[in-house]
Amino acid sequence: MSAASAVHTLSLAKHYGSRVAVHDVSVTVRAGEIFGLLGPNGAGKSSFVKMLVGLIRPTAGQARLLGRSLDDPGVRGQLGYLPELFRYPPWLSPYELLNYHRALLQRPALGRAQADALLDRVGLLGRGAHRIGSFSKGMQQRLGLAVALVGDPRLLFLDEPTSALDPLGRHQVHELLKALRAEGVTVFLNSHLLADMETFCDRVALLSHGELLHIGAVSAAMSSEPRFHVAVDALSPAARAAIAPWLMADSELPTVTGLRVTVRVDRQQLPAVHRALVAEGVAVYEVEPVTTHLEEWFRSMVEARGAGGRGAE
Amino acid sequence: MAVVVRFTLVEILRKRLVLVAALVALLFFGLYEWGISELAHARGTAGLPPEAVAVSVLYVGMFFSYLMAALFSVFSMAGAIRGEIDDGTLLAVLPRPVPRWKILAGKWVGFGIVGSAYATCLAGGLILLVHLTFGYPGASASVVAAWLAFMGLVWIIGAVTLLGSVGLSPLSNGVAVMGLFFVALLGGSLMQILPGAALPRAIAVFGTITRLLFPVDGVYRWALYEVASRAVAQVPPAFLGPFGPWPVPSLAFLIYAAAYTVGVLALASWLLHRRDV
């Protein structure tokens, strides 16, 4: 494995009797990147992360974090983890909770100013002395982020970190992720919020039914095939023939201003399409690139896997 | 581990459990004092030695203190592990670089300290009330030995409750440990009906098995004997009914109880170490 990898798994698996939670997953996460693990509900994302943070024992396979074995106690001091199911002792205050975790990490207690700085990062400044029992679900999730960060981790596992947050909270988490990336922290993100993944992840992996379907750069997943929508007044047979090499079949859609067609073409060839249309007397109102959003990619991958599964039956 | 002990203490002290337990104890003491002062006026009427009534009221009081200490231990620890895993509290703690056995042991010690304080208040208050009303137990009684054994009960029950809490939900665990506790109490109580040579062999075997299964009842009977050994020797053994200390456990039994507790904790640690969370 590369010395620069923060997470490296080889055929990692978790079975509960005959039920397979994670099957044969091999993944490498590079140091300093934000890596996203996608998957439908029950795909095995949380089980995978729980194996890496030591909450559940793998049935088979190997895993190394920051170049060390999972069993190495030294590595656990360098991890931060926000569980999907988060709850913090209601009888403590955030100051007490953060220092409880500092003590578990065998690090000196945080002073009030340091604790406030950390709480400020997650939007809880001024709440440090309040009882956690009075916190909303969203505030507890923010506190969970602070707990995950309290040991200055090199590797951070965030399992659905914005599930309980409002849009403002999600924005703050986005800002936090940006800052962590700048600080060189490796972030392993589990989320079903694909917008988060599109915005921040350098690479994503797709897990379905415990199996890894795909791993790669987000940009590759989002732009597999360049296409453009072209809004025109109408398309004569001559004009249709002029752009026939690029025109996608059954892509013509009537609109209030006329017609919208879709062409499959590289950006460099787009002026040629435009010239051909104008030469045939077509009025071109608008040309718009079609992006394959991660969601579309995600759905197509999972559905393809499902169709494959059914085909095999 | 010290940090887990400290935060377990904070947890128990900040929950309402301690307040509720203290209020129940005050109610208990009030009713008990009222009852025994009535009995103090009637003493000697049964033609028994003067200390017989004192020892019997002491033993009845000890029995209810024992039940209250046991309930406190079970209810405060029934959800210590599984309960906190299910609600998510432990999920951020267990990945920290602390061996799981230390988290378990820290909880045991933290709960044990609070439980011991509660048991001390219960038994100490009770003995004091009997002493003030009847002048017994006097200086010759082994009150310290009884006190230590009474506190030990909390640590034994705590260890077994923690073991159950690794795998069982808080409710199931509470029912299981209290069930085990009542089986041990049944075995110990049956041995009081016809104590000594008249004890039927089958009852002796049953009582011995239940004492070994959950040695908490044997330790409790030992504490009873120590707190009133001088007086209890002067009353007919069957006079005390199910509240008596017979047969008085040996020192070897106390060593067994200590080893049992350590074994239970070791088993709980091993199960928690292997448990998927």
Is A91's Cβ below 8 Å from some Cβ in B? yes
What is the sign, positive or negative, of the torsion defined by CA atoms of B235, B237, B239, B243? positive
Is A83's Cβ below 8 Å from some Cβ in B? yes
How far apart are alpha carbons A47 and B264 in whole angstroms? Answer: 30
Out of A53, A57, A87, the one facing B89 most closely (by C-beta) is A87
ipTM (interface predicted TM): 0.89
Is A102's Cβ below 8 Å from some Cβ in B? no
How sure is the predictor about B178, in pLDDT bands with cuts at 50, 70 and 90? very high
Mean pLDDT in residue range B19-36: 94
The number of beta carbons lying within 10 Å of the beta carbon of residue A49 is 24
Out of A79, A88, A103, the one facing B95 most closely (by C-beta) is A79
Question: Which residues form the domain of B138?
Answer: 2-274
Contact map slice: B 70-109 vs A, CB within 8 A: 87-89, 91-99
Q: Which domains does chain A have, with CATH numbers?
A: 5-222 (3.40.50.300), 227-290 (3.30.70)
Sole residue written with tokens 């009713």: B31
In chain B, the number of structural domains is 1
How far apart are alpha carbons A211 and B88 in whole angstroms? Answer: 26
- What is the per-residue pLDDT across A126-169, written as a single tens digit (0 to 9) for each? 999 999 999 999 999 999 999 999 999 999 999 999 999 998 99
Cβ within 8 Å, pair B11-A89:
yes
Query: Mind telling me how many Å the CA of B95 is from chain A's nearest CA?
Result: 6
How far apart are alpha carbons B273 and B277 in whole angstroms? Answer: 10
Cβ within 8 Å, pair A54-B95:
yes
- What is the per-residue pLDDT across A29-84, written as a single tens digit (0 to 9) for each? 999 999 999 888 888 999 999 999 999 999 999 999 999 998 888 899 999 999 99
Question: Chain B interface, mutation test: which of A15, A19, A100, A190, most B Cβ atoms within 10 Å?
Answer: A100
How far apart are alpha carbons A14 and A107 in whole angstroms? Answer: 33
Cβ within 8 Å, pair A104-B98:
yes
Chain A positions in Cβ-Cβ contact with residue B89 (cut-off 8 Å): 87-89
pLDDT of residue B141: 62
Within chain B, residue ranges assigned H as helices are: 2-14, 17-41, 50-77, 82-86, 100-134, 143-167, 170-193, 201-213, 216-227, 229-232, 251-274
**Number of inter-chain CB pairs under 8 A, A vs B:** 68
How far apart are alpha carbons B50 and B45 in whole angstroms? Answer: 9
* B65, B122 contact by CB (below 8 A): yes
In single-letter form, the type of residue at position A40 comes to: P
Q: Count the residues in chain B.
A: 277
- Specify the 3-state DSSP secondary structure of B78: coil
- What is the per-residue pLDDT across A158-208, written as a single tens digit (0 to 9) for each? 999 999 999 899 999 989 999 999 999 999 999 877 777 877 888 999 898
Cβ within 8 Å, pair A104-B3:
yes
Query: Mind telling me how many Å the CA of B256 is from chain A's nearest CA?
Result: 34
How far apart are alpha carbons A284 and A125 in whole angstroms? Answer: 54
Cβ within 8 Å, pair B97-A76:
yes
How far apart are alpha carbons A264 and A275 in whole angstroms? Answer: 16
Give the tokens for residue B210.
């239940």
Mean pLDDT in residue range B43-65: 80
* A208, A45 contact by CB (below 8 A): no
Please state, in angstroms and as integers, the Cα–Cα distance from residue A168 to each residue in A122, A123, A162, A175, A180, following that order.
Answer: 11, 10, 10, 11, 18
pLDDT of residue A222: 64
Query: Mind telling me how many Å the CA of B136 is from chain A's nearest CA?
Result: 43
Instruction: Give the CA radius of gyration of chain B.
Output: 20
Best CA proximity match to B117, nearest among B17, B4, B203, B200: B17
Cβ within 8 Å, pair A87-B98:
no
Tell me the backbone φ, ψ of residue B102, rounded to 5 degrees.
Answer: -70, -35
How far apart are alpha carbons A125 and A128 in whole angstroms? Answer: 7
* B59, B237 contact by CB (below 8 A): no
Residue in chain A closest to B14 (alpha carbons) equals: A91
A51 CA to centre of own chain: 19
